């Protein structure tokens, strides 16, 4: 059998001396099971002993062409931008002796040499993130528990929130005026649910104190997120609209609470809610009941909900759950309308180092869209801290919290925000593309060459999307959402794409991540410095913990791109890595 690159499934090493003694010719790169099947179909022997130089060359060319075809053209264009900025050398040749040495000889150009100021800033960042995360709650996996919940029900609650006038005052308070289903048994779960329901009105009307009756109002869609004490998360999908009638009146909010992050699906449900509310509120509630009784759709599947509407008769509404809902609640277009590429990269860098970030905007929908969009840039990592896309003004004191957070505030709360004793934080005005407050090092947080690649790819986004493609698979990523996602995925592939090579497995089958070996294997000093700080974050700890505990290999778009990246590595880099990993296996 061909010796293959170690995968994330196993790094247990067999008798390498036996393999060495055969001295068999081998293909230059790792070959997957699909590659070997292709060789068989082409009549090329898969056994190394029967390969001569001609067939070896032919096989390499065929497999190289096949892999290029497998990668969408848009992704290839993005990769070429990174390659041009990064240079050729990616991973070092490592040995057991030099990996244990605290300092390795640097192989970078002089342009990446250290200055005293840069080293001092790096040390301060490292100490800062370590001290901050000591105060933050410990990491718990959020994604794994979602899987079982998402198979149970489409949503947990449907509520209507209205504004009620305070006694003897000319201001209003939000209250739940309708709730489905009703809470009945006084169990612990019900008591927790009641606490959640108490918080919902504030998120539906974070600006309650600013409202007066109006005659006209364009309906607005936004979302919020509730995080429980146990780390569980629930999405609130809201449609704020003005009830039909004459004269000045107050708006109301129709809100669906679900554990499922799928904005488009719930937007379609809220469209139907608004259509029915325009005729009569009495038509909304039977529709939501029939929806809750419907079977929950599997990923990529569609459910049909039968409803009745006066004047239209019986109707069938189709609701499709996407195969991959990762970008379902994301609107990158809104983010790029509000912020320049450079500002977006600065915010991304701040979130990677788990800093405090505050968005300020005039509209709920802007806060909601931009908050979800910047969190989506972190994929395959997950933001593990406080995340409130629209923070009610009554809860503004949260911004004084010493731990990391990402919150959104309406502009009407800005004067109060400026009075509060907020610790170091990045405050962003989404209406003017300006930072209200910053820490002044946002441009130096990311590896310089990779930051330049990020910036160039995003500045050329329209050009890259509009270039011709000759593959149906390109349609999936030839959108703004697809391109932006791929650009940031490539950043993580370049920085941590070799992580699976350092997941070793012991005799009990337990996986362990070789942290220092992973970091020191990177050739670029600036990337190693970045990793030293980033690896202290809870999002990195969660990512690795998830991979260590998995019984099977992680799947998803990031893992696909990682596999393609590892296939790109030159022989010299990979052979050096294999020698090092053999040493780990023999310890």
- Residues 301-346 pLDDT 10s: 788 888 777 777 788 888 877 666 677 778 899 999 999 999 999 9
Alpha carbon distances (Å) from 129 to 132, 355, 373, 419, 536: 5, 8, 24, 26, 7
Q: Give the C-alpha separation, 437 to 420, whole Å.
A: 13
Look at residues 502, 206, 534, 185 and name the one whose alpha carbon lies nearest to residue 360: 206
If DSSP codes are grouped into helix, strand and coil, which group holds residue 569? coil
Assess if CATH 1.10.4080.10 describes domain 150-259+263-321: no
pLDDT at res. 31: 46
Q: Give the C-alpha separation, 305 to 334, whole Å.
A: 31
pLDDT at res. 170: 77
Alpha carbon distances (Å) from 205 to 93, 288, 393, 413: 58, 22, 9, 13
Across 438-538, where does the E strand assignment appear?
503-505, 511-513
More confident of the two residues 63 and 5: 63
Would you say residue 449 has pLDDT above 60?
A: yes
Q: What is the 3-state secondary structure (H, E, C) of 474-496?
A: HHHCCCHHHHHHHHHHHHHHHHH
Mean of all residue pLDDT scores within the chain: 76
DSSP symbols for 139-171:
P--SHHHHHHHHTT-S-SEEEEEEEEEPTTSS-
pTM: 0.74
In sign, the C-alpha dihedral spanning 439, 138, 534, 477 is negative
Alpha carbon distances (Å) from 444 to 106, 349, 417, 439, 440: 20, 9, 27, 11, 9
More confident of the two residues 110 and 456: 456
- Residues 372-431 pLDDT 10s: 999 999 999 988 888 888 888 888 988 998 889 999 999 999 999 989 888 889 999 999
More confident of the two residues 290 and 341: 341
Contact between 336 and 377 (Cβ < 8 Å)? no
- Residues 548-566 pLDDT 10s: 887 676 678 899 899 999 8
Q: Give the C-alpha separation, 235 to 442, whole Å.
A: 30
Contacts of 481 (CB under 8 A, 6+ apart): 327, 330, 331, 332
229-234 CB contacts, 8 Å cutoff, 24+ apart: 230/140, 231/137, 231/140, 231/142, 232/142, 232/145, 232/259, 233/142, 233/146, 233/259, 234/156, 234/196, 234/258, 234/259
CA angle 81, 86, 91 (to 5 degrees): 130
Q: How confident is the model at residue 88 (pLDDT cuts 50, 70, 90)?
A: low
- Residues 506-535 pLDDT 10s: 887 788 899 999 999 998 899 999 999 999
């Amino acid at each position: 059998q061909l010796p293959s690159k170690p995968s994330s499934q196993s790094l247990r090493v067999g008798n390498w001396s036996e393999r060495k003694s055969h001295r068999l010719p081998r293909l230059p790169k790792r070959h997957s099971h699909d590659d070997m099947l292709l060789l068989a179909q082409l009549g090329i022997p898969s056994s190394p002993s029967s390969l001569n130089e001609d067939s070896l060359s032919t096989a390499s060319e065929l497999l190289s062409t096949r892999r290029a075809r497998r990668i969408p053209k848009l992704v290839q264009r993005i990769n070429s931008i990174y390659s041009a900025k990064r240079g050729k050398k990616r991973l070092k040749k490592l040995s057991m002796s030099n990996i244990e040495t605290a300092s390795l000889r640097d192989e970078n150009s002089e342009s990446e040499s250290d200055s005293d100021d840069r080293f001092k800033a790096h040390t301060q960042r490292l100490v800062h993130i370590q001290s901050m995360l000591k105060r933050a709650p410990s990491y718990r996996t959020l994604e794994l528990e979602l899987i079982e919940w998402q198979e149970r029900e489409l949503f947990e609650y449907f509520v209507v929130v209205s504004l009620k006038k305070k006694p003897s005052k000319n201001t209003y308070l939000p209250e739940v005026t309708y709730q489905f289903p009703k809470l009945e048994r006084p169990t612990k779960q019900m008591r927790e649910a009641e606490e959640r329901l108490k918080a919902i009105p504030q998120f539906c009307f974070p600006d309650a104190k600013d409202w007066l009756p109006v005659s006209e109002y364009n309906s607005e869609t936004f979302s919020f997120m509730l995080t429980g004490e146990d780390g569980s998360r629930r999405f609130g999908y809201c449609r704020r609209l003005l009830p039909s009638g004459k004269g000045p009146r107050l708006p109301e909010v129709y809100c669906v609470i679900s554990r499922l992050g799928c904005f488009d699906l719930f937007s379609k449900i809220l469209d139907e809610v608004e259509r029915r509310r325009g005729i009569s509120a009495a038509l909304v509630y039977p529709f939501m009941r029939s929806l809750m009784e419907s079977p929950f759709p599997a990923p990529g599947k569609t459910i049909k909900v039968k409803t009745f509407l006066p004047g239209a008769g019986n109707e069938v509404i189709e609701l499709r759950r996407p195969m991959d809902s990762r970008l379902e609640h994301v609107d990158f277009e809104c983010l790029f309308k509000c912020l320049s590429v450079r500002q977006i990269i600065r915010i991304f860098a701040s979130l990677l180092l788990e800093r405090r970030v505050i968005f300020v905007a005039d509209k709920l929908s802007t806060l909601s869209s931009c908050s979800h969009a910047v969190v989506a840039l972190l994929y395959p990592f997950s933001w593990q801290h406080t995340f409130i896309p629209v923070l009610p003004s009554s809860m503004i004191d949260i911004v004084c919290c010493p731990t990391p957070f990402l919150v959104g505030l309406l502009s009407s709360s800005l004067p109060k925000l400026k009075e509060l004793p907020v610790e170091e934080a990045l405050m962003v005005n989404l209406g003017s593309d300006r930072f209200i407050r910053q820490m002044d090092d946002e441009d130096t947080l990311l590896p310089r060459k990779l930051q330049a690649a990020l910036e160039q790819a995003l500045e050329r986004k329209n050009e890259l999307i509009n270039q011709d493609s000759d593959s149906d698979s390109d349609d999936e990523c030839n959108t703004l959402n697809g391109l932006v996602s791929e650009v940031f995925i490539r950043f993580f592939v370049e920085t941590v794409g070799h992580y699976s090579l350092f997941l070793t497995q012991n005799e009990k089958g337990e996986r362990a991540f070789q942290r220092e070996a992973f970091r020191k294997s990177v050739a670029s000093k600036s990337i190693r410095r970045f990793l030293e700080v980033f690896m202290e974050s809870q999002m990195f700890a969660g990512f690795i913990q998830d991979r260590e505990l998995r019984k099977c290999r992680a799947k998803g778009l990031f893992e696909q791109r990682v596999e393609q990246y590892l296939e790109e590595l030159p022989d010299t880099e990979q052979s050096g890595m294999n020698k090092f990993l053999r040493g780990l296996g023999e310890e």
